[in-house]
Amino acid sequence: MAAIALPKIKLPGIKLPSVEVGKLVRNPLVGLIGAALMFLGAVVAVFALLGPMGAADHFRAPLEPVFREAPDGWRDALRPAKGAPRIYEDVVRLSERPLSPNRAAPRPATPGAMPVFAGGALPPAPILGFSSPSPGGLLPIIAADGRTPAQVYARPFTANGRPKVALVIGGLGLNPRTTQQAIDTLPPQVTLSFVVYAEGLQRWIDMARARGHEVLLETPMEPENYPDNDPGPYTLLADGQPLETVKKLEWILSQASGYFGLTNYLGARFLGSPAAYDAFASSVRGRGLAFVDDGTAAGKAGGIPRASAERVIDSKRSGADIDQQLAALEAGALQRGQALGSGFAYPITLEKVAAWAASVEERGYQLTPASALTVKR
């Protein structure tokens, strides 16, 4: 290679002789300095894009995909009170507590129910002292001080003297889109019930409670046309032995934590059997849970907190019919002081309930969680 003479640069006290480029680039020390300069240039470029970490302007990225998957109240925890989230802060927080899989091991129990403000998140489940381990998962129990899961997992409520109107929206967990829609668009006073066979059941319950919704767990029960209409392998059967009913119910209860009670999925034949219902109610009573039904078990007691819906608002899936049922629910609350309705998570139902709930209190009613209408009987 021909030698190329570099121009001499005059610096104070330093004289640089002419050098050959080939020898210069083969010098290890020069190569190391060049690499350092390249790294420094990259750092400068990054800071030019992002700005200093403590400055007011930060690199921002949408975290809605994270919010959609976030368990344990992260949806609210990750979103700052003002402004958009800072990506580097949220990455640190996510890495400290990675997202749990659908069937994750039970999380450590929280030490007690924290104060809840109107519309705010309910405390994450499980709450310390209200569950015990079983081969299938955590089971609800009555605490040593006598408090029950029905009390600590219910949404706090204070009556204001107006007629109370409550709604339970069920069938959640099977369709991710409608489940997310119900959690996000319905006000926190609306009670949500989840299918026990749903994939990621605990994650859905966590997200619902993070948005302030109290939760019911749906219990598959034998309908009149069983087995043509089969609610699944853990269906409680009308002619089942009490021990069989208890064991199936324990499996159902062990699938998640954070629900204040149970509701029925189908079950006309099961609930019509006094012996079957007694075995069910005895187990529910021993676990400190409530039972809220869709009207199929109206009039049944069992020594547990009870409430029955007086109407299903979407028996006919049309907007006009749902509006009519919601108006009838208001009329019932006006006559009797309170009314409870139930519905399924159909898109039309969610749309109509969200619109109705946005203005029902302006008409003089109090939107109420279903737990507030339960009475021990």
The reported pLDDT for the residue numbered 120 is 85
Q: What is d(CA 95, CA 87) in angstroms, rounded to the nearest whole number?
A: 12
Compute the average pLDDT of residues 252-256. Answer: 98
Reported as a single tens digit per residue, the pLDDT across 155-177 is 999 999 999 999 999 999 999 99
The reported pLDDT for the residue numbered 294 is 97
pLDDT of residue 113 exceeding 90: no
Compute the average pLDDT of residues 177-200. Answer: 97
Of 266, 318, 332, nearest to 296 by C-alpha is 266
Cite the residue boundaries of each domain of the chain with CATH code 3.20.20.370: 131-376
Q: How many CB atoms lie within 10 A of CB 52?
A: 9
Q: Enter the CATH code of domain 131-376.
A: 3.20.20.370
Cβ atoms 229, 207 nearer than 8 A? no
Banded pLDDT at 108 (limits 50, 70, 90): low
What does the DSSP assignment read for 68-112? HH--TTHHHHHS-SSSPPPHHHHHHHHHHSPPPPTTPPPPPPBSS
Banded pLDDT at 138 (limits 50, 70, 90): very high
